[in-house]
Structures are given as structure tokens and as C-alpha cells.
Chain A
Amino acid sequence: MSPTPLTVGAIVMLAKDDLQAVIDALRQRGYRTIGPQVADAAIIYDDIHDVHQLPIGMLDLQDGGKYRLQPSATAGWFDYVVGPHSLKNYLFPPRETLLSIDIVDGQWQMSPPAPAAEPIAVMGVRACDLAALEVQDRVFLHGPYVDPAYQARRANLFTVAINCRRAAATCFCHSMQTGPAVRSGFDLALTELDEAFVVQIGSDRGAELLADVPCTACSPDEAAEAQRVSEQLAQDMAQRGTASRETAAGEPRERSLDTRDIRDLLLGNLEHPHWDRVAERCLSCANCTLVCPTCFCSSVSEISDLSGEHVQRERTWASCFTAEHSSMNSGVVRKSTSSRYRQWLTHKLASWIDQFDVSGCVGCGRCITWCPVGIDITEEVAAIRQEDAR
């Protein structure tokens, strides 16, 4: 066992193969363990029991509308970045039952789902996704109403974060000030070195868990080396600057987003010609909203059996790119693709600040990668800024 006191803020070393002991300790405590792994040519989150399910030695190459996996002899255990899934898939699942109602002797009887949630532990959570978790907390926990299902899952979430060593071309967490270093909101945070992980303890639960994991003391040199990992990446990303940096032919442009005055810039340009230019490319397919780790729109629908005596109220993810989203009996508010893209972008980067006192964008770049036509949030904002009509 560790010679270092296992307390919040402490840093210890973990041999790479002993990450398995973390999974085992979580499972012993009743957690369902989730981690990154390859499925259908992408890195997604799924149940993980064995560290060898991790995409060790894999890199992801991401660009507007492009995602490719590529094995690399020099890649470590976590050198890919974010895939299409995020914590949202578990805390705010794509489909869930809010309420069941049965008619018994002519009377309606309600049964809400059990408030207790299965404890979930997610491994390999990036700084941007921890930031997204805090954004969704503001929606579901910190408003005038609390969503009980989200609250129950959130209370039982254990996060094993990872400090990114590499950024994809689509990453711009540095612009949104959410990364690349993991700062808070985790139970354990890993930094990968060549031979081991440096583990920072972020919570009492994290400390308690490590009591069952064979970790060792971390030397000042190792701690400094771990710190340099995030600092080096932050420095590299900062050099991207605010303008597009020249890239070699065929290399993807490395993103950044100029957030100066962004709320007033966007809400002051609601009739900007660029909305129509984006709409010429946008398929209104909703992919960006589905992969976005903060997008929270949903619809509740009524699922009834044929007798009509057993009804479930089911919440599913919704998207502002559909007509249904703004549909009233008097008609659809946002009829055009242009108005829907404008809604999404101005909500994400501008009105979100009014609503939740934080940007709705964490700079993960998923909306850029998973857009079938490669529409790029950073480029669209830059285009509006270039012809600011205010």
C-alpha cells in the first residue's frame, strides 16, 4: 500500500497495469465501470472490465467532418481525445422513463422510477467533459427545479479523469478555458508518463478507493514531469493564436475561438448574412446537438400500450435543428435551416451565458468532427466577427 497519506490533493504513482486494480476496486464497490474503447471504427464509451479493452496505442485524427483511427507505436494508453460519446450519455441518457401510469379500477395510479441510480464510474474523462458536466449541472440541478433522475445519477458518479497529452486539430478547450489540464470536479485524475500514471486524488471517495490499489509515493521529479505534460500541451495550443495558423498541405487547421465580447457579437448580429451562408451547407441533421456534451434539449412523449391502460412518459433527446422543436399549434417558429443554426450557435455561445452564467461551449470540437459537411463553429464565429454589423 501507499506510503503517502491518501488524502484529497495528494499525488501518488500507479503502475500502468495496476489501472486494472482501480477498475476492480470500483467494481467491488458496486460501480458499473465505463471506459473508452473502439467500436464501429470510433472510440466510444462502453462497459469496461479489463484495462486491455482500452484503445491502447490508438490515435484519432479529427477534422471537420472527419474522424479516423490510426494505431501508433508511440501512442500511450490515452493519447486519443474525445469521441462521439460524453458523460451526457450516462447522466442524461438519450431515452429514459420519467413516469409510469396504470389505470386500476378506473383510477390513474402513478409510479415514478426508483430514485436510486446505479452507481457509474467513468474512466478517461477529459477536462472538457468535466467542464461540460458542470454546465449540465447548472441546467438540471441549479435552476428553480431539480431533475430528480439526473440528480440521483450525478450523486453516484465516480470520475477517473485523464490529463490530455495531445490535442486533436478540432480541440479548442484552451479558448473556452476548460482545459487541457483537468482542474476540478474529479475523483481521481491521471497523467500518463512513459511507464506509469501519476494520480491526483480529487475527493474522499477517490482517496478511499486508492486504499485498495497498489500505488506508490510520487517523487518530486515525477510530479513535475506530470505537471509539464499539461503545461506543454497548453503552451502548444496557446500558440495556435486567434487567427488560423498556416498548416502544411493536407494537414487539418488547428482550431481556436476568439471569445471576446462573444455574447453581444452574436446577439447583435441576428440578421447577419452569414447565417444563410451556413444554411447552404447545413443539413439540419442534428448531429452537432447529439454529440455536444452540454446540449440538453429533450422531448417527453407518451408511450401507451394498445389498451391505453399502461402509459409511460418517456424523455428523449431533442434538437433545435428539427421543426418539432419550435412547433406550436399556430405554426413552427424556426422554419428555415438558417434560423435553426442561428438558434443553436447563439444559444451555445451567447444566450447560454444569460441563462446559466457560463458558455454552453467547452471547446471539445465534437460538433466540428461529427458534422457530415464539416461546419466549424470556430470558423462561423470568425466569419461573423469579420463582418460585424453592429
Chain B
Amino acid sequence: MMTETQSHATNPWLPRFYRIAKITHEATAISTYELVWDDATASPACAFLPGQFNMLYLPGFGEAAISISSDSECTDSLSHTVRVVGNVTRALARLDVGDQVGLRGPFGSAWPIDACHGCDLVIACGGVGLAPLRPVIYHVLRHREHFGRVHLLYGARTPNDLLYTNEYDAWRSAGVEVNVTVDLGDEDWGGRIGVVPMLMDRLRLDAAQTRLFTCGPEVMMRFVVFEALARQVRPEHVFMSMERNMNCALGFCGHCQLGPAFVCKDGPVFTYPQLAPYLRVEDF
């Protein structure tokens, strides 16, 4: 176990080593890793804001940028919902409870939850895009009285790709309207089939009161935003979490640039007006 050293304060490249406390299988090739920091001598290292991400590190494999999917008011552990897509995530999938994982973070901008108190929320996400929004849902559950109507619009490719399915009932009973859709159903699927932007049709929005948080494939987000703007939601009330190649998370490596922004430090959460000039430019 690496102990806290002076160098962590001055060297942002140094990971801290956490231990896996729990692994939850979520969906096809997707698991949630709950990490704890077992150095009780130092200050809590699990504080974060909903929407932020960590760099998870496995020596010999490298780092991957993974959003934090746990409750930000529960600071004894950090959960990361990870889909196996590359070298690092494949190595992570081979680990067991008790194994070490390096971690740098948290990094990046957050969903503006406090600024949305008193408003209606539309949370629109696709696939693992629900992971960085689960902390928002947990916040809503803890502080339900601060929000008006709260809609979760969530889609995945198939029913087997849906995340956190065993939590939807609790979310519904706490006053979150959960609308789920899949691209391709199976014989047990009795829910909706279709894409996430389509779920906007079901909502009767009070446009001036609505704040939209969206995360998922860029094309999905573009259509969700299009639908919201068409319903007179104000552009500055639309927030998007962007994905780019995040190599360092410090604004040094340059890979995650999106026009003037470094997605790692200026994002990943942006307002729509920040992104609007660039979203439709091909290959930008």
C-alpha cells in the first residue's frame, strides 16, 4: 500500500492506491467497482462532485478515465461503472475484491446541481452514460424537496445492456419518473423500443423551469438537445457531458481538446452554448 507522501501534493502524476471493496456485475461486459482507500491516517480521499471522473490505473496496463457513479455524499468509497472496451478495462475485469487499483482524481467539471434547485430536471442518457448521472439521481433522492419534476430518460442497445435495473423501483417510488427504452428488445422485454430522444415526446415540459443533463453517444446527445431546444428549453439550461481521449486529465497532454476546451479540465460537463459552435463540425 502506498502511503500518502508530500509528493502527492506536488506531483499530480502520482496515483493513490485503493482496494476493490465490492464488484457488482451490471450488464453485458459492465461491472461496478467500489473502491476504498484504506489509509485511515490521511484525509478522506473520496470527495467528489457529481459528473467528475477519476483516472484508474493498473501498473503495466495504464490509465483509463472513468466517471464516478456513486453517491457524492457517501465518502467512504468511490464507485466506477466500467465497460470492458480496451486494455486497461479488460485488465480491471480480471481483478477480484481486495486487489489494488491506482487512482488519480477527481477531475473535471460537475453537473450544476445546486444551481438547479427549484427546477425540473430531465436526465437523458444512453448506455454507460447513466453512470456519471447516477450521482445526480442520488442527490435528487436525498434532496427531493429541492426539485420539481424529475425525469430520467434512459436507453441502451438491448435489455441486457441496461445499468442499475434493480434500483429503478426505488427511484420511481422516491419520485423520479423513469422512462427506459432499448434499441432492440428480446422476448421478455415489455418496455419501449426506440431511441432516447424519442422519449422526449412523452414529457410535458415547463420549458422555462427545465434543466437538461445529458450523457451518452454524441449523436444521441445532439438529438436530445435538438428535441429540448425545439420545446423552448433555453440553451444555457442544457448541460452535456462529453467524451474525448483523456490521457493525462491535467490539461498537459492535449489529446482531449474540443475547440477552445480541454475536456478533462474545462469539461466533461459543458453548457450547450459552450459547445454549440463545434458540435456539428465534422471530425472536429
Contact = CB atoms under 8 A, between A and B. Distances in A.
A140 B253 contact: no
A326 B11 contact: no
A299 interface: yes
B14 A143 contact: no
B2 A271 contact: no
B243 A330 contact: yes
Nearest to B87: A302
A311 B244 contact: no
6 contacts: A98-B13, A110-B14, A147-B12, A298-B252, A328-B243, A351-B260
B250 interface: yes
Contact of B12 (A146, A327, A355): A146
A339 B100 contact: no
A334 B283 contact: yes
B255 interface: yes
A140 B260 contact: no
A77 interface: no
B245 A326 contact: yes
A327 B245 contact: yes
B12 A145 contact: yes
A112 B59 contact: no
Interface stretch (A100-108, A164-172, A231-239): A100-108
Contacts of B7: 112, 115
A126 interface: no
Nearest to B251: A143
Nearest to A340: B283
A311 B283 CA distance: 35
B217 interface: yes
A328 B1 CA distance: 31
Contact of A299 (B13, B60, B247): B247
A267 B282 CA distance: 14
Contact of A140 (B61, B252, B282): B252
A78 B282 CA distance: 46
B281 interface: yes
A298 B85 contact: no
Q: Which of B59, B85, B257, B278 has the most CB of A within 10 A?
A: B59
Contacts of A139: 251-252
B86 A298 contact: no
A325 B245 contact: yes
B58 to A, nearest CB: 9
A147 to B, nearest CB: 6
B254 A148 contact: no
A335 B248 CA distance: 22
Interface in B227-270: 243-245, 247-248, 250-255, 257, 259-260, 262, 265
Contacts of A99: 13-14
Contact of B253 (A271, A297, A313, A330): A297
B283 A302 contact: no
Interface string B1-24: 110000100111111010000000
